[in-house]
Structure 1
């Protein structure tokens, strides 16, 4: 079989990117903006692949489970030999490691997805790979023990698998075992890079060419925004707020889901508020047992759970967008209207272009956007990566 050089590589001389677990293309758009050429995308979800094809019809989209796609088949499709790919990006799902009552870990299909990411890195030998995931991955235990169980077992020593951070420790070991790569990681807040959203992501970089530690340091040093409490002191601009982000957005359709019956309480919550701002007479009805302060395990903790019945503020960045704005514990209600954020508002807060065509049901659109890395954060990572590749 004859494998020819990628047309994109030979014609434009641009660095190539192989994208895994692509979803709505948030990471990909950031890399495109920084000057990279996306030569391959993959996702198991039909609606994600239809979205990729609708917006980037010339980019190869391989629909299916990456577990069933051999590496040599990927290389054949894109016309590249191994060692010729510049960057691999992706955020494989890791939920399987922290499922209550069980520990399927790497034997679970979602855990195997991480191993497949590592498999493709090993077999294609890119100059750089970038793995991204939720910041909470850093502290996840391999074996889930609920908060209340931990309190009850305070004096009992937890097993290594039950300790916070045990999952990421193993993931890091697996990445560090890839021969020829230096690996480092950090937690980046999208708000520091001009995204109107307090969204922290774990970014892990592996490189054959240069120090990933210096790359991460340079990315952080390039951040020009900061928490308003310290922005002036550190000579940076204040975080962008919701009002600034949604200014001028044309959204005639206002496509969104509806809140369940509990949404009736939201009309009593002020902008920037949550369940603690409900009249006292309503709090227990709205929250049920979660507001029970007589429970000794909840004593002094009634001010928590700030995601419940949450209404956003115009004057602050949005909290982290999740895969649905209508979950009671991670509620994302519009500042003035008694509705969740629309699909277009969601997309704007993740810095997708206003004309980006998300294909699928409303729930599927929320999921694609909520799972994405914000485009501006991806661009910040990609820009430094591009500079280092060119040195």
Structure 2
């Protein structure tokens, strides 16, 4: 190995660690393909050297990340200015993060494996998320006050196979458990689909809650896939005061019939909470305004739609004649069978839409907007999807393709619900902190 290649190898490895990037994340930032991780590993081992163009891009990487941060519409305040710290697991595009950030929190660690979601996250928050959480040791995650995690829900959802813990995605809960066992944050917020509540006749949720409370005594079967660290962490008992509730977006000012399970917990050891103290003694679930909602409130104006048409020189949202014919045919077939499956059409004056899902990009069938008898219906625009999930108007919806942003919003959370839960959580934490302080023995003068 020549001295030049060795120097380059050392520089690349040191830079990547300094920027807190994994091999995959660095490859994504450099615009490399699926083999990028292996290529960077080769650079760091001195097996080969980057091209001149890639070497220049590597040297500019720190400035590239700084530019992303400087231009990010939702960048956070400094750690010194913050009131608490948190981590954002299975982060998606940051739907759970922003409300906690707005309440004075500082995110010290993010994990999201999907490279397209990483790009949207980077564009909006100015930070590149870490990748696959199963490959990150819990001890390497910074200490934090609150753990946030919208852990993968396909294993429990209606759209999935409802396999639960027998599905690798369902076992992502155990990755959360191992981090809780190692870092012991003061509180956590977990989010999942409503179907988690009834999965396996309620046994799956019961198991999750008992693990979080430190009450679980059984062995997790060996055929349930999880990392060795996660399996080992199950031997360490947690001690959280935990509650859960299904909350609906439509009750929080958003015209969407979206229901999700939220699980909140507070560390009994840290807050010195006796075992007889119930969850309801320290936390009150938000009720929402429950005022009538209207689909028209999230729709873009005709002028905005026209501007999009002129920018792209085409109508990107009205569905094709072929797709519309197929929708009508399938709906008629379902009606003949006596069920209500098929496309759903909504107008501005409707109270709410169906739940937007990750498959929305395929045909838009769950939420089509009526454009009158003379025109075929259309899909929601990306900006309307952001509105339907309660994201702020500053959120950039153009970081990735139209198909990818539809997936991302379908997989995300309703921010307005998170805002309400986050406020109740941080309020409860302050009150618990004050109660804990009052229990401390007074110093002798």
TM-score of the aligned structures, taking structure 1 as reference length: 0.71
- CA positional deviation for 1:104: 5.9
- Provide Cα deviations, 1:267-302, integer angstroms capped at 9, x if missing partner: xxxxxxxx7xxxxxxxxx434753344xxxxxxxx2
| Residue 348 of structure 1 pairs with residue 387 of structure 2 | yes
The residue that corresponds to 2:294 in the other structure is 241
Paired with 1:291 and 1:40, the residues of 2 have a C-alpha distance of 49
Q: Distance in 2 between matches of 1:375 and 1:98?
A: 20
Residue in 2 that maps onto 1:106: 165
C-alpha contact (below 8 Å) 1:95/1:111 kept by paired residues:
yes
Q: CA deviation at 1:183?
A: 1.0
Q: Tell me the distance in 2 between the aligned counterparts of 1:360 and 1:132.
A: 25
Show the counterpart of 1:27. 96
- Structure 1 residues not aligned, in runs of 5+: 1-6, 142-163, 227-237, 267-274, 276-284, 294-301
1:39 CA drift (Å):
2.0
Q: Which residue of 1 aligns with 2:353?
A: 318
Structure 1 residues 190 and 50 mapped into 2: Cα distance closer, same or farther (>3 Å)? same
Question: Which residue does 1:150 correspond to in 2?
Answer: none
Matching residue of 1:263: 324
Q: Is the 8 A contact 2:82 2:105 kept in 1?
A: no
Q: Aligned partners of 2:125 and 2:178: how far apart in 1?
A: 26
Write the deviation string for residues 17-63 of structure 1: whole angstroms up to 9, x where unpaired. Answer: 10000101111112222332222211000111111111111x4x333
Report the Cα distance in structure 2 between the residues aligned to 1:243 and 1:18, rounded to whole angstroms: 35
Which is greater in Rg? 2
Q: Give the deviation of 1:376 after TM superposition.
A: 1.1
Q: 2:401 & 2:210 partners in 1: Cα distance?
A: 39
- 1:125-164 → structure 2 map (5 Å cutoff): 125-141=184-200, 164=201
Q: Whose helix proportion is higher, 1 or 2?
A: 2
User: Which residue of the partner structure matches residue 339 of structure 1?
Assistant: 378
Judging changes above 3 Å, is the alpha-carbon distance between structure 1 residues 262 and 52 closer, same or farther for their aligned structure 2 residues?
closer
Q: Any conservation in 2 of the 1:21–1:90 contact (CA below 8 Å)?
A: yes
**Aligned length, in residue pairs:** 312
2:123 paired residue among 46, 54, 77: 54
Counterpart CA distance in 2 for 1:103 and 1:13 is 40
CA pair 320-10 structure 1, distance change in 2 beyond 3 A: closer
Give 1:265 shift: 6.2
Residues 122-271 of structure 1 aligned to structure 2 (within 5 Å): 122-141=181-200, 164-177=201-214, 178-208=237-267, 209=271, 212-214=279-281, 217-220=284-287, 223-224=288-289, 226=290, 238-246=291-299, 250-251=304-305, 252-253=307-308, 255-256=316-317, 258=319, 261-264=322-325
Q: CA deviation at 1:377?
A: 0.9
Once residues 218 and 187 of structure 1 are traced to their aligned partners in structure 2, the CA distance between those partners, rounded to angstroms, is 10
Equivalent position of 2:83 in the other structure: 14
Name the CA distance, whole Å, in 2 between partners of 1:350 and 1:96. 22
Deviations 1:113-138 (A, max 9, x none): 11101111111111111110111221
Residues 30, 377 of structure 1: 8 Å contact kept: no
Moved more, 86-95 or 199-208: 86-95
- TM-score, with normalisation over the residues of structure 2? 0.63
